[in-house]
Amino acid sequence: MNYEEKMEFLTDVFEADEDLTEATVLEELDTWDSVAVLSIIALLDDKFGKNMSAAEIRTCSTVADLLAIMC
């Protein structure tokens, strides 16, 4: 997954009407909920072979943090 694909994925996950940026604070998104976390867990497992817990993903505070674990 390249950078654009990751951002497109996160835009869909957060149902973001406006473009997300790396600086976007997750706590400010209404859709930073368990469904979003579940989507990210599934993606990490499928695309990157990572098995991360919901609690670990919850420690991310910005979109940049999420991008950092998507590798």
Partner 1 sequence: MVFRRATLKDIPAIMKFIDLHWKKNHIISRNRSFFEWQYVMDQEVNFVIALNEEDTIVGINGFIPYNHLAVPDIAGSIWKVVRTDNPILGLQLSEVLCNIIPRRFVSAPGLSRRAYLIEKYSHNPLGELAHYYIQAPKTCYHIAHFPMYEDTRYLPIPKNMSFRQITDVVDFEEALQSIPLEDSIPYKDEWYYVRRFWNHPVYHYEIYQVSYHQKKLLYVTREVEANGAKALKLVEVLGDYEMISYTGGELRQLLCQKGYEFVDLYSYGVPDDVLKKAGFQWCDPKGEVIVPNYFEPYVCENIPLYFTTNSHELLTNPHFHLFRADGDQDRPS
- In the complex with partner 1, the residue whose CB is nearer, 39 or 62, is 39
Supply the minimum distance, in Å, between the C-beta of residue 27 and partner 1.
9
- Indicate which single residue of 9, 50, 52, 69 sits in contact with partner 1 (rule: CB under 8 A): 9
Nearest to 9 by CA among 43, 52, 32: 43
- Indicate which single residue of 54, 64, 68, 71 sits in contact with partner 1 (rule: CB under 8 A): 54
Q: Using CB under 8 A as the criterion, which residues of the chain lie in contact with partner 1 when the complex forms? A: 9, 12-13, 15, 30-39, 42-43, 45-47, 54-55, 57-58
